Structure 1
Amino acid sequence: MGDSHCRCLHGFILLVVLFLSFVFSFASKIDVSFHGDEKRSLSSSINSSLSESAEYTMCATHKEAKDGKPIALDFDCEQGYVISKITYADYGQSTGSCGKFKRGNCGASNTLNIVNKKCLRKEKCKLFVPDKIFGPSHCKGALSLGMAEDDCADNGIPLPNVTSKILLLVIEYCKKHVVESKEEDLKKWDAEFMKKMEQSILFDVMMAANYLNIQSLLDLTFQTVADLLSGKTPGEIRSYFNIENDFTAEGEAEIRKVNQWAFE
């Protein structure tokens, strides 16, 4: 019975928090990853700062050498970055420009598969363009390899629903719980950890713990909110969260009747 009541209380608190997050925008919607629209050619250099993760587009089109010797195409990402995707590659007569290449009248159908195998998830990639690599394209005239949308992205884990500020708090909590093994010491640390949080930060940490599936931190934030609500009347809770009461007396009485367990 106790476990069932506890689960119901947790569910009730989560619903309250989700509602407050929606109304007051407590839940973070800031994407940690940064998607830039900077573009560069193979011969140019990047002058913009890489202090934040970013994506860049590299393009190249090379015609076959007249002497028949293989042509090398070099794709080099900045340090710490990898080629995360290749959306276009064709050994043939491509049309268009960087980021807007289109397949021409003829080309080697297996080009994209070969380029993916050789370049995907790598910091550096060198390609040669002879027929023996891609197969004859059966094109009359100049042959070319066009590649676009080779995005060099930071090789990290995206957390689109957690801000860097909140993530640092989550990491601090996880580090402490990995290092510290004494239960009493952890309880004292948890109490201080929650005590120093502002109301809005508390809800952000709760949402992050839920998103990252860190159950112990989620339980801790649930309990903290429960302690904040404990002993308060509905009017005091509304005042604490700046919630306007839009229920009629009859409507509120009906809610109390249906959810009697929450008022015991």
Structure 2
Amino acid sequence: MAMNNLYFAFVICFSLCTFSALALKKNVVYDDEIKNNIGEMSSKISVNTGATLFCESAADGNMLQISCPLTGMNISGISFASYGNPDGNCNTTPSKGDCDASNTLSIVEKACLRKPSCEINASTATFGPTTCKQPNVLIVIGVCSH
């Protein structure tokens, strides 16, 4: 039942392209944290099911860090992962860009699933080369749960 509520909350969140609608419907606490002076954002949503949705991003050459907020939680799912030029960011509904590394999701899942935290180097050494003309970005969206 809890995973059904989480799935429902996740679908509403991204289909409406806004976290505020979810907050009104599912008693969600929304927290944005500015990670550094270049505007990277970390968005975490605590849903009344006891799970936490996360969105983390890292610029090329930096480490992306994911940490579940409570002891006993593990990263239980990755719903989106893009390394290249994803459209959008953690404050919008991101989607894959036109030059993303095709194996990003499987690499992130292998590094992070069933762990309380993980670190991934946002680099071509990790994900392989892309055809992007601009610097690559890594965005990962997923869920921590008990």
Of Structure 1 and Structure 2, which has the larger fraction of its residues in helix?
1
- Aligned equivalents of 1:132, 1:45: Cα separation in 2: 26
Q: What is the TM-score of this pair, normalised by structure 1?
A: 0.39
Q: Which amino acid aligns with 2:133?
A: K
- Aligned equivalents of 2:71, 2:52: Cα separation in 1: 13
Post-superposition Cα deviations, 1:154-184, rounded to whole Å, max 9, x if no partner, equal: 1xxxxxxxxxxxxxxxxxxxxxxxxxxxxxx
Pick from 58, 61, 69: which aligns with 1:62? 58
Of Structure 1 and Structure 2, which has the larger fraction of its residues in strand?
2
- Aligned equivalents of 2:80, 2:2: Cα separation in 1: 27
Secondary structure of the residue aligned to 1:115 is helix
Deviation at 1:140, TM superposition (A): 0.2
2:62 is matched with 71
2:116 is matched with 123
- 1:115–1:41 Cα change, 3 Å: farther
Pick from 82, 92, 95: which aligns with 1:90? 82
Secondary structure of the residue aligned to 1:133 is helix
The higher radius of gyration belongs to 1
2:134 is matched with 141
Q: Is the 8 A contact 1:95 1:101 kept in 2?
A: yes
Q: What is the TM-score of this pair, normalised by structure 2?
A: 0.66
- Aligned equivalents of 1:72, 1:39: Cα separation in 2: 24
Deviation at 1:45, TM superposition (A): 9.5
Q: How does 1:72-221 map to 2 (within 5 A)?
A: 72-77=63-68, 78-98=70-90, 100-148=93-141, 150-154=142-146
Q: Which amino acid aligns with 1:122?
A: K
- Aligned equivalents of 1:124, 1:32: Cα separation in 2: 22
Q: Is the 8 A contact 1:40 1:58 kept in 2?
A: no
Q: CA RMSD in A?
A: 2.7
Identity %: 32
Could you tell me which runs of 5 or more consecutive residues in structure 1 were left unpaired when the two chains were aligned. Answer: 1-30, 65-69, 155-264
Q: Relative CO higher for 1 or 2, CA cutoff 8 Å, sep ≥ 6? A: 2
- Aligned equivalents of 1:55, 1:145: Cα separation in 2: 23
Q: Which amino acid aligns with 1:73?
A: L
- Count of aligned pairs: 115
Q: Is the 8 A contact 2:76 2:145 kept in 1?
A: yes
1:182 is matched with none
2:16 is matched with none
- 1:58–1:41 Cα change, 3 Å: farther
